[in-house]
Structure 1
């Protein structure tokens, strides 16, 4: 079994630019990626952990595969190469911005018996997708990719399971998402935010973040 994480370091997390500089956003993106990759390795589920990266990066425990095409193109090429090389092993595609993911989450989603298991993100995205036979599936991210991936699977006669997980659904894109990392995170991403001076703060009865 293998796992693959698509990653873009340059201009990462642009919607956080109101609070973080370009360099800080890159540092935070790398911290989240490190959390995800480390969890995959600790799970013991995978023989191979690959990162499809648009640039050369240094990351312990994972292979860096350079990919200069878009997200869908890079991932579908990756799945296609698995098929062409007769690598008919299951694969987990997981996003780099879900630092709360746990070893249990990984073991549970890869234990699903269906052909496809999808962990949806908020607002219709796909944060992780487990594919038993990569030769029979292709991805279509952006927009309501969760629904698109269900439709692709059903058209190909594949069984689909929706994997419901708070940790896997919590992707970090907006400023408000930083509070979840500080509330629940114990890894490098949470440490990075604290190092940069972020702390929890009440805002109109809700929990937000402030920079000290």
Structure 2
């Protein structure tokens, strides 16, 4: 089994720009990436690839193999799957709430494919036992699309329903979930900049 993490550091996470500067966002995504890698390694997954359109921020990376591909994410991943020759775990880099236990649960599926839905119809992770028979299609409602692709390819699939694994960090309100439920370097970074605001009906953020 091999894990692959799509990743882009340059100008990352523009939707967090109301609360984090460009420099802060780039620092933050690097911390999240390393936390995902550490969780993978803790489960015993040693073959880890980072698939990126640029080497920016990946110079000197020792924890994983860096593969550069300037093509569209779907094109790059589908080429990767075609050439894989072994089960592949695709996991996004912005999942600091994803734990080793989640990874073990996802990759121990009895089905051909395990799909982890993200917020708003996205896909946070995919475990594919026969990658040469599967193609990904991210963006839009990719979760439903990936379910349909599995069915059309004659492969059975399981949905891994988890709030924590399904929480990708894209919007300022997602940082609230990180502060409430997270741990590790990504949470520590945000905790130095914000604290929880419980003065209103819904928990929010205020600068430290």
Q: TM-score range by the shorter chain?
A: over 0.9
The answer to whether the 8 Å contact 2:83/2:132 transfers is no
Residue 77 of structure 2 aligns to a residue in which SS?
helix
Counterpart among 172, 178, 183 of residue 181 in structure 1 = 178
Residue 166 of structure 1 aligns to a residue in which SS?
coil
Provide Cα deviations, 1:23-78, integer angstroms capped at 9, x if missing partner.
Answer: 1100011111111111001111x241111122221444211111211211111111
Displacement after TM superposition at 1:98 (Å): 0.8
Q: Residue 98 of structure 2 aligns with which residue? A: 101
Counterpart among 71, 84, 96 of residue 69 in structure 1 = 71
Unaligned residue ranges in structure 2 (runs of 5+)? none
- Taking the TM superposition and a 5 Å limit, the aligned residue runs for 1:39-188 are 39-44=39-44, 46-56=45-55, 57=58, 58-82=60-84, 87=85, 89-188=86-185
Partner Cα distance (1:203, 1:121) in 2 = 28
Partner Cα distance (2:65, 2:186) in 1 = 20
Residue 167 of structure 1 aligns to a residue in which SS?
coil
Report the aligned-residue RMSD. 1.1
Counterpart among 179, 196, 199 of residue 200 in structure 1 = 196
Number of aligned residue pairs: give it. 205
Displacement after TM superposition at 1:184 (Å): 1.2
Partner Cα distance (2:129, 2:122) in 1 = 20
The answer to whether the 8 Å contact 2:112/2:156 transfers is yes
Displacement after TM superposition at 1:204 (Å): 2.4
Partner Cα distance (2:189, 2:61) in 1 = 16
Unaligned residue ranges in structure 1 (runs of 5+)? none
Provide Cα deviations, 1:158-195, integer angstroms capped at 9, x if missing partner.
Answer: 00110111111000110000011111111111011123
Provide Cα deviations, 1:82-115, integer angstroms capped at 9, x if missing partner.
Answer: 2xxxx2x211000111111011000110000101
Does residue 35 (structure 1) correspond to residue 31 (structure 2)? The answer is no
Partner Cα distance (2:168, 2:62) in 1 = 22
Q: Residue 15 of structure 1 aligns with which residue? A: 15
